[in-house]
Every structure is written in C-alpha cells, then in structure tokens.
C-alpha cells in the first residue's frame, strides 16, 4: 500500500469518512462542554432529514412487527378469480383490493405489508453481524499491528477481491432453501470488510492519542484500553458507515431475491414479488411497481437516516 498521509476511508455512498469524526481531542471547549454524542443528538433533532427518516423507519418497523394491524387479508391466499388484471382500487384504502391483485390473485397490498419483515430483518441483521465482526477484526488489526495486522489485512483484501453481488450469488446458490437467516449470514460473510477497514483506521488514529498513552502508562490492561478507551472513541465512524450500509443491504437482499437467488418461499420478499410480476410489466405494471416502490422507500429511509447521522457525527460538515 502506498503510504497515504491521510488514509481515506469511504462509505457505501462513496463519501470519505472524515478523520474528524474520530474523536481524538475535544477541541476548544465551548461555553458548555458537550460531548460528541450529546452534541450530535442536539444536532440530529433539528435535522428535517432525521425527523422524516425516523418517522418512516418507525412506521416500517411497526409494519414489520405487526403486519396484521395494517391488513386483514392473507398474503398467501390465492384466488384466481381475482387475477392480476383486476386493477388497483385506489379509493379503497387499506382494503385487500387497494393495490390490486398479482398473477395468482393474491392481494398486492397484503403482500407488500407482509414483505416488510423479511427486508428489514435482513437489513438490520446483516448490519449488526457486520458491525460486530468488522469492528472486532478491525480493532484487533489496528491495535496490535505487526504480523497480526498483515494477516488480517490480507484476509480483508481477499474478501474485498470478491465482487459483492457475485460472491453473494455464489454463496447463496449453495443453499437449496434460503431463509432470512441464511441470507443474513451470507451477506455478513462477504460484507464485514468495509467496517473492518474503517475500524482499523480509526483505532490506528486513536491508539496514538494522548489519553491512550496515558492509560497505558498507568498500567491499564489491554482489554481495558481496547474497550474503555479505544472502542467508545472509534464508534462514531463505525456507526456512520453501518447506518448508511443498512440501506445497501436491504437493496442487496431485494436484488438477490429478484434474481431468484435470495429468499425463497414461503418467505415473502419484495424483490421476489417484483421478479414474479415482471412478465406483466406491460399489462399490469402495478404488480411490480408497488413492491418496487416499497423497496425504494425503505432503502431511502435508511439512507436518509444514515446521512443525518453522518452530518451529526461529523463536526467538519457543521
């Protein structure tokens, strides 16, 4: 690697994660000394982006947990008499026929409501796994350096060398039945590298901070230094990358399911429904437009949320 004076780490949206987001020093104390976190929270509450995305995400979470609150129809009940040519009844809010019926005569409205659970579980699940795994690996590599870092960095390179979509296709294709958990593990298996790199970079910066030196000089144990001094301060950039990546994982799950290599029946997934509706693009476009819109709105909500968090945690953008 060329010796980059300021190693740039990029998020899923390609923006550099500024080193400033790494809390290495408190800077000139304002009138009231506020921590990075309370400052960020103060900033977040005033961002329209944050408010809109939080409301949307809360709504999506409620839908995912209690889909029955939103529709009485069953997403799996097929009634060929109500086949896809029955157009949406725009006036009939929340009724099974509201958004029309798909090719097998199932209520599209019920299907998109019940499809939320899989999408969001995958998104949140992959993000959690990737964050824990990536932070752990990155922290070990960054803190210990030397040959441990060399080995872990090469392993990271190996996983980075596999194109994400292609890798996911290959991994998932080895499973006959693919539940939410299989998809989560497969995506996490391939996706941890990004967080690992960010965590490694942050830890290397923080490791040199005076307060870590002081803790070392006072004889603090390695675990104590790692978890009490380094981790809390490396968290900001990791959280930024993770929240932005969340939307990306939801999009990835939808794309894989669309390709027929993501979630399988009986799990209801928006991507799968788009794929099932593709033959009707000309005659009954709503069969794929409705789940498409749901995917996009969900991804958008999480991306906006990630953007808002980044704005708040990145003092340079203020």
Partner 1 sequence: MGRYVARRLLQMIPVFIGSTLIIFLMMYALPGDPVRAMMGDQAYDPSVVASKRKELGLDLPILQQYWNYLSGLVQGDFGTQIASQQPIADVIARVFPVTIRLTIFAFAFVSIVGIGLGIIAGLRPDTLRDRGLLTLTLILVSMPSFVLGFLLQWLLAFQWPIVKPTVQDDTDITQLLLPAIVLASLSLAYVARLTRTSIAENLRADYMRTAVAKGLPRRRIIGVHLMRNSLIPVVTFLGIEIGNLMTGAIVTEGIFNVGGVGNEIYQALIRREGATVVGIASLMVLIYLAASLIVDLLYAVLDPRIRYA
295 binds partner 1 (CB under 8 A): yes
Q: What's the N-to-C CA distance of the chain in angstroms?
A: 32
- Distance between CA 41 and CA 308 in Å, rounded? 10
Of 74 and 296, the one with the shorter C-beta distance to partner 1 is 296
Q: To the nearest whole angstrom, how small is the minimum distance from the Cβ of residue 317 to partner 1? A: 8
Within a 10 A sphere around the Cβ of 133, how many other Cβ atoms? 17
285 binds partner 1 (CB under 8 A): yes
Of 14 and 91, the one with the shorter C-beta distance to partner 1 is 14
- Pick one of 251, 263, 308, 313: the residue that binds partner 1 (CB under 8 A): 251
Q: To the nearest whole angstrom, how small is the minimum distance from the Cβ of residue 150 to partner 1? A: 10
258 binds partner 1 (CB under 8 A): yes
27 binds partner 1 (CB under 8 A): no
Q: Tell me the backbone φ, ψ of residue 99, rounded to 5 degrees.
A: -105, 15
Of 11 and 121, the one with the shorter C-beta distance to partner 1 is 11
Of 225 and 260, the one with the shorter C-beta distance to partner 1 is 260
Q: Nearest Cα to 180, choosing from 63, 264, 291, 245?
A: 264
Q: To the nearest whole angstrom, how small is the minimum distance from the Cβ of residue 192 to partner 1? A: 14
- Distance between CA 219 and CA 198 in Å, rounded? 27
Whether residue 266 is preceded by a cis peptide bond, meaning omega within 30 degrees of 0, is yes
The pair of structure tokens assigned to 284 is: 């009954």
Name residues whose C-beta falls within 8 Å of residue 295's C-beta, 6 or more positions apart in sequence. Answer: 119, 250, 251, 254, 270, 271, 274
| Region binding partner 1 by CB under 8 A among candidate stretches 26-34, 102-110, 221-229, 273-281 | 273-281
- Pick one of 1, 29, 81, 218: the residue that binds partner 1 (CB under 8 A): 1
Of 93 and 147, the one with the shorter C-beta distance to partner 1 is 147
In three-state secondary structure terms, 295 is helix
- Distance between CA 97 and CA 95 in Å, rounded? 5
8 Å CB contact between 242 and 232: no
Nearest 10 degrees: CA dihedral of 268, 270, 272, 276? Answer: 110
- Pick one of 75, 247, 262, 272: the residue that binds partner 1 (CB under 8 A): 247
8 Å CB contact between 70 and 63: yes
In three-state secondary structure terms, 84 is coil
261 binds partner 1 (CB under 8 A): yes
Of 99 and 212, the one with the shorter C-beta distance to partner 1 is 99
| Per-residue binder mask for partner 1 (CB under 8 A), 151-180, x = binder | ---xx-xxx-xxxxxxx-xxx-xx-x----
User: Residue 280: exposed, middle, or buried by beta-carbon count in 10 A (0-12, 13-18, 19+)?
Assistant: middle
- State how far the alpha carbon of 305 is from the alpha carbons of 37, 221, 246, 298, 315, in Å: 16, 37, 10, 11, 17
Of 73 and 241, the one with the shorter C-beta distance to partner 1 is 241
266 binds partner 1 (CB under 8 A): no
299 binds partner 1 (CB under 8 A): yes
| Region binding partner 1 by CB under 8 A among candidate stretches 4-12, 37-45, 57-65, 85-93 | 4-12
Of 73 and 261, the one with the shorter C-beta distance to partner 1 is 261
Enumerate binding residues for partner 1 (CB under 8 A). Answer: 1-5, 8, 10, 13-16, 154-155, 157-159, 161-167, 169-171, 173-174, 176, 247, 251, 254-255, 258-261, 271, 274-275, 278, 281-282, 285, 288-289, 292, 295-297, 299-300, 303-304, 307, 316
């Amino acid at each position: 690697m060329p010796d980059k004076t300021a190693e740039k780490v990029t998020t899923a949206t390609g923006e550099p994660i500024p080193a400033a987001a790494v809390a290495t020093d408190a800077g000139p104390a304002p009138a009231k000394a506020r921590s990075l976190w309370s400052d960020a929270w103060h900033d977040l509450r005033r961002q329209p982006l944050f408010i809109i995305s939080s409301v949307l995400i809360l709504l999506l979470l409620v839908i995912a947990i209690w889909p029955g609150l939103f529709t009485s129809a069953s997403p799996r009940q097929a009634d060929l008499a109500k086949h896809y040519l029955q157009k949406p009844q725009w006036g009939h809010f929340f009724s099974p026929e509201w958004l029309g019926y798909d090719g097998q005569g199932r209520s599209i409205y019920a299907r998109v409501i019940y499809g939320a659970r899989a999408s969001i579980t995958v998104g949140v699940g992959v993000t959690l796994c990737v964050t824990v795994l990536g932070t752990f690996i990155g922290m070990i590599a960054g803190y210990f350096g030397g040959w441990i870092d060399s080995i872990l960095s090469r392993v990271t390179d190996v996983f980075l060398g596999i194109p994400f979509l292609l890798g996911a296709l290959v991994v998932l294709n080895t499973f006959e039945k693919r539940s939410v958990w299989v998809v989560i593990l497969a995506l996490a298996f391939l996706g941890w590298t990004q967080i690992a790199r960010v965590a490694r970079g942050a830890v290397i910066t923080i490791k040199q901070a005076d307060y870590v030196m002081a803790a070392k000089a006072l004889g603090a144990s390695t675990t104590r230094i790692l978890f009490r001094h380094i981790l809390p301060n490396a968290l900001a950039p990791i959280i930024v990358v993770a929240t932005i990546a969340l939307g990306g994982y939801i999009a990835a799950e939808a794309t894989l399911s669309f390709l027929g290599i993501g979630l399988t029946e009986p799990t209801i997934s928006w991507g799968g429904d788009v794929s099932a509706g593709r033959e009707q693009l000309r005659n009954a476009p709503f069969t794929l437009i409705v789940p498409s819109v749901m995917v996009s709105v969900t991804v958008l909500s999480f991306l906006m949320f990630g953007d808002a968090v980044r704005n708040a945690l990145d003092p340079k953008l203020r």
